[in-house]
Structure 1
Amino acid sequence: MTSGSIGTAPYKTSDRVLDLLLSLVHGGDLDLLDNPEYLPKLLPTPEQQKAAAKIRLLLDAYVYEQSLEFSEAASGKSAAYRAYLLKQAAQPLRRQENFRRFRDALRDILESDRVFQLLPMEANRHVVELRQQLSMLNLESANR
């Protein structure tokens, strides 16, 4: 049987890179990518490593309170309400939930625009570049 023969889609290279990075984040092991001994074993091609670096940049820079979603929720509101929103966003469970939503949005980056809402507008170019890198990974693996 070939991959994807029973109603499942083949495992794309972009999915592999995203799943690896997000699993490392979830397990608290993202620093493994800093080890030159492990990096080529985990991500063997320079293209995969570049996509991983962009994902890591977005993960490291993520702050929900700077997101478009948060900005829109606070826009035009009183200072007291904005302070309330900030206090709510700082709650540990809320932080975990928002970061989980961000990881899920990154996982779906090629199929969904949700990630744009969870980042500041300044990060849009990084998201677009990452989408291009992941799409190229898929094209390259399909041509092999």
Structure 2
Amino acid sequence: MARLTKNDNVCIHCHRCEAICTWAHESAFNPKRGRIIVDLEFPDVHKIRICIQCGRCADACPMDAFYQDFNLLTTSEQGIFRLDEDKCVGCGECVQVCPTNVLQFFPDIRMPRKCDFCLGEPQCVKYCPTHALSWALG
């Protein structure tokens, strides 16, 4: 069982996590398309937005395009929520209910992108220079 955790206090707003996320999933360095988001608020407050695996996206989806993958468990022993792209029709209902606003809709592909914890080896954690992100086994 594992959990992705964050420490906003040590984030230096380098966006490396966002860039490596898109590289791992889309073979392109594009922080704006990451499944993790780093916000900067004035004057120097950094907030990392990550998927908390709450399942609201699955509850809101009229096409049942989200499912729980029990091959990767969270610390609450529930499976992570993943998107079945073949079932997604791009309605955006899931994006509207995301409590962390990390689920984003991309019009060019007509569907959202959701964190899958890199199937147990989160690259955002591996490449974070300040360890603002961690993958805790528990």
TM-score of the two chains, using structure 2 as the length reference: 0.27
Tell me which protein shows more helix as a share of its residues.
1
Q: State TM-score, norm by structure 1.
A: 0.26
